[in-house]
Structures are given as structure tokens and as C-alpha cells.
Amino acid sequence: MIAEASSIVPFTGAGISTECGIPDFRSPGGLWTRNRPIPFDEFVASQEARDESWRRRLAMEPTFAAAKPGRGHRALASLYRAGKVPGIITQNIDNLHQASGFKADDVIELHGNTTYARCIGCGKDYDLAWVKLHFDKIGAAPDCAECGDPVKTATISFGQSMPEDAMRRAAELARHCDLFLAIGSSLVVWPAAGFPMMAKESGARLVIINNEPTDQDDIADLVIRHDIGDTLGPFVGN
């Protein structure tokens, strides 16, 4: 299918990054399964929630900082370099597609990016070192130095509106590809999970690579219920 396709759009979830040491959301033992996600309205309303959110994120920093692209990321980057992949849609927030060689403009991040921080009021960006410095100094989540509003990782939390431009560009890619690869996603987080279906309805072949069943297996042309690194490894360096 990869050989026959002229426009391949990968759509990735947390499963592509587990071999890089970043736990996924729902697998047993995943760090996120032990912590209830903090919804956006709670983050905005409560200093305590903001403190807890940053405490968790800073505790994860050594893991994110050490993570390097895995075989799945590198295989997709090879297909991108070969001109087969116009862009990639990801639910991941770990920056590993950019690190594997995708231009930032060609990575459509549906849920933002956790490797930097952003003021929820004026949108000013901060690096995590700045946040850590302030957190350590004042013992609490910092506010924006410009406007005083809370600073949050540049991710989309539950209850926060989706980034319009990313949603529009993802729909464009899903509608115009001939092969859509849904990789390492349980396909339960909406509206992101709508893109595989959208691609299929627009005439693309749909392949799902995930080591457990998903709700969309029935509509896929091929389901590979196997490890992502092992499955995509042969495409690294092509």
C-alpha cells in the first residue's frame, strides 16, 4: 500500500512514543492512568490545580528531555523525505516528529506541545526553564510576566477549545490523501478520532497500526495489531 500510494498521511497517537520512554495515556501502568487529567476550567479557576499541574509536568521533564525519536518516528520521517508524506497529523505533544526531521510547519499538532509553555491570556511563549525557575523560587505556578494571566504548557487540555487552524489543515490532509495511517492511538479522544473516518469516507485506504483493538477497526482496509517499532522499522532509512 505504501508503494502504491502517492500521498500518505500519518495520524499518530501516544503509542508511537512508548518505545521512546514516554508512557501512553491508557495502557496499564501509564503515568497518566495514575493521575486524573486536570480540565481546563479547573486550571483557570484554581491556583492549587495550576500548582499540581506544573508539579506533575516538571516531574516528567527528565523523561521528555531524554526522549529521542523511535523507529516509528524515523520511518515516517523517511517517507516524508522521499516526498510521499505531505504532512503529519498528531495527537502527541512530545515534539518527536519535529525531532525526527519533519519541518515544524508540516506537523499538525491537534493537542499542542508540552515542550514549551504559553500564557492563556496574551499567548506569550515561555520556555520550561523559565517556568521551573519561578516554580522553584515562589513554590507555585507562575503567572505571565506581561499580562499576569496563568502560564500553562502549550497543550490543549480537556475542556479547552481545539486549535482551529490545526483542525482545518488536518481535515484538508485527511480529505486529499490516498493512504491514511492511524498509528498508536486508541481512537477514543474526539474530535481527533474523526480524521481516520474522514479519510476513509473521502476515498483513502485506511490502515490502523495499534497493539489493541480500536472502535474503527471495522472500517479499516488493514489492521496491524502489532508493535509499531517492529512494524515500521523496515521503512527507516528508505
Q: Give 204's Cβ-side CA count (13 Å radius).
A: 29
* C-alpha distance from residue 46 to each of 32, 49, 72 (Å): 21, 5, 38
Smallest gap from Cβ 19 to ligand NAD, in A, equals 5
Residue tagged active-site, from 73, 97, 111, 134: 111
CB 111 within 8 A of CB 155: yes
Do you know the residue count of the chain? Answer: 238
210 near ligand NAD, judged by CB under 6 A: yes
Using the minimum distance from each CB to ligand NAD, give the nearer residue, 67 or 173.
Answer: 67
The rounded distance, in Å, linking the Cα atoms of 93 and 196 is 19
Please say which residue, 91 or 153, places its beta carbon nearer to ligand NAD: 91
**Contact status: 26 vs ligand NAD (CB under 6 A):** yes
> Which grid coordinates belong to 93?
505533544
Q: Which is nearer to ligand NAD, 18 or 100 (CB)?
A: 18
Residue whose CB is nearest to ligand NAD in the complex, by number: 15
How many of the other CB atoms lie within 10 Å of CB of 39? 14
Query: Hey, what amino acid is at 115?
Result: T
Considering only residues 67 through 96, tell me which ones interact with ligand NAD, judged by CB under 6 A.
Answer: 91-94
Stretch that binds ligand NAD, among 54-62, 135-143, 172-180, 207-215 (CB under 6 A): 207-215
Of 112, 118, 171, 187, residue with least CA distance to 146: 118
Q: Is 134 a catalytic residue?
A: no
Q: Compute the least distance from the CB of residue 7 to ligand NAD, in Å.
A: 23
Instruction: Give yes or no for a contact between 183 and 16, defined as CB atoms under 8 angstroms apart.
Output: yes
Instruction: Work out whether 5 is an interface residue with ligand NAD (CB under 6 A).
Output: no
The minimum distance between CB 64 and ligand NAD, in angstroms, equals 9
Q: Does 17 bind ligand NAD (CB under 6 A)?
A: yes
**Is residue 102 classed exposed, middle or buried when 0-12, 13-18 and 19+ CB atoms within 10 A define those classes?**
buried
Give the footprint of ligand NAD on residues 147-206 (CB under 6 A). Answer: 184-186, 188-189
Q: CA–CA separation, 63 vs 26, rounded Å?
A: 18
Q: How far apart are CA 42 and CA 141, in angstroms?
A: 14
Q: Choose the binding region for ligand NAD from 18-26, 78-86, 97-105, 124-132 (rule: CB under 6 A).
A: 18-26
Can residue 111 be called a binding residue for ligand NAD (CB under 6 A)?
A: yes
Cell of 133: 525557575
The catalytic site residues sit at 111
Contacting residues toward ligand NAD, per CB under 6 A: 13-15, 17-19, 22, 24-27, 32, 91-94, 111, 184-186, 188-189, 210-212, 227-228
